[in-house]
Amino acid sequence: MQVGNTVIGGKYVPIQTMIKNPVIDIDTTLRKIENLVAKKIFEATGRRGPDYEIISCPTCGRTNGDIHLMVQSIKSHLAGKILNRQIKIAVMGCVVNGPGEAEHADLGVACGKGKSMLFKHGKRIKIINNEDVINELFLLLEEYTGLQDTPVIQ
Instruction: Quote the radius of gyration of the chain (alpha carbons, Å).
Output: 21
78-91: pLDDT as tens digits: 887 777 778 899 99
44-76: pLDDT as tens digits: 777 776 778 898 888 787 878 888 888 999 998
First to last CA, the chain: 40
Rounded to whole angstroms, what are the CA distances from 144 to 6, 34, 97, 115?
42, 25, 24, 22
Q: Which domains does the chain have, with CATH numbers?
A: 5-44 (no CATH), 52-145 (3.30.413.10)
Question: What predicted TM-score, i.e. pTM, was given to this entire model?
Answer: 0.65
Give which of 59, 79, 75 is closest to 67, Cα–Cα: 59
- SS3 assignment, position 53: strand
